[in-house]
Amino acid sequence: MARGVFDLPPTGWDVAAAKAAVRIARPEEERSLRVVTWLADEKLMLTAIAAFWLAARALSQSKTLKTEADRMLLSVGIAGLLPHLFKRLVNRKRPDRTLVHGPRRGIPRSGNALDSFPSGHALHLGAIAGPLLRLTPPKGRPAVLAGLGALAATRLLLLAHYLSDVVAGLVIGAGVGAAVTALRNDSKPR
C-alpha cells in the first residue's frame, strides 16, 4: 500500500550490493550490527548531541567548541525531520522485504516496508560530520570519516537500506550541515 507521491526503484548497483549483503549475512554478525547501528539512531543521536551541547555551553570556555556544538545540535534537529518528509514523498521498498525470501539468517525486519529512501541514520551521520571533523585534529579526521562510513554501512549490511539510500542520506545530511554552518556564519555580528 503506497503512501508516497512516487516510487523509486533500486538501481542495479543497489540490488548488487544488497544481494552481496544477503550472501554474507550470518545471525551472529547481524545481531552485532543491530547493536552498532543504534549509535546513529535518531533518538539516541539527538539525546547524545543535546548532552554534548549542554556540556559545551555549561562547561567550556572555548568559543569554537560552543559554535560547533550549536551547529551540531541544529543540524541533527533538522536531520531528524527530513527523513520523515522524504519518506512521505518517496516509496521505496526496503531490501529486506524485496530480496530476503525464506530463511532470514538473522536479518531483521526494518521499520516500515516502504521507508527505504533515504537512510535516516546516514542523514544524521552526514549532518554531524562537518562539526565533528572541525573539532577533530587533522591527523584524526580519517579515523572519524572511517567511523562515520562504517556506521552508515551497517544499514546496508542489515538490509534496511540500499546503497543509494545511504549515499543520499549522507549527502543530504552533509548539505544540512553545510547550510547550518553558512547560516551560523551569516548570523555573526560583523
Q: What is the pLDDT of residues 13-46, one digit of tens each?
A: 999 999 998 887 877 887 788 888 888 888 999 9
- Burial (CB < 10 A; 0-12, 13-18, 19+), residue 138, is exposed
The residue with greater pLDDT, 108 or 133, is: 133
Residue 2 placed within a domain:
no
Q: Is residue 5 part of a domain?
A: no
**Within a domain: 1:** no
Q: Is there a domain that residue 92 lies in?
A: yes
Q: In this predicted structure, what is the pLDDT of residue 106?
A: 56
pLDDT at 61: 93
In which domain, by residue range, is 119 found? 10-186
pLDDT at 1 over 60: no
The predicted model gives 134-163 an average pLDDT of 94
- Residue 101's pLDDT is 67
Question: Is residue 57 in some structural domain?
Answer: yes
Backbone angles phi, psi at 6, to 5 degrees: -145, 160
Highest mean pLDDT among 31-45, 46-60, 88-102, 174-188: 46-60
Q: Which of 57-66, 75-84, 100-109, 164-173 has the lowest mean pLDDT?
A: 100-109
Distance CA 13, CA 126 (A): 21
Nearest residue to 113 via CA among 125, 100, 126: 100
Where does the pLDDT of residue 145 fall: very low under 50, low under 70, confident under 90, or very high at 90 and above?
Answer: very high
Domain count, the chain: 1
Asked if residue 4 belongs to a domain, the reply is no
Higher-confidence position of 1 and 75:
75
Is position 97 within any domain?
yes
Please give the Cα distance from 186 to 190 (Å, whole number).
Answer: 9
Locus of grid cell 534496511: 160
Evaluate if residue 5 carries a pLDDT over 70: yes
CATH number where 38 lies:
1.20.144.10
pLDDT of res. 188 = 57
pTM score: 0.89
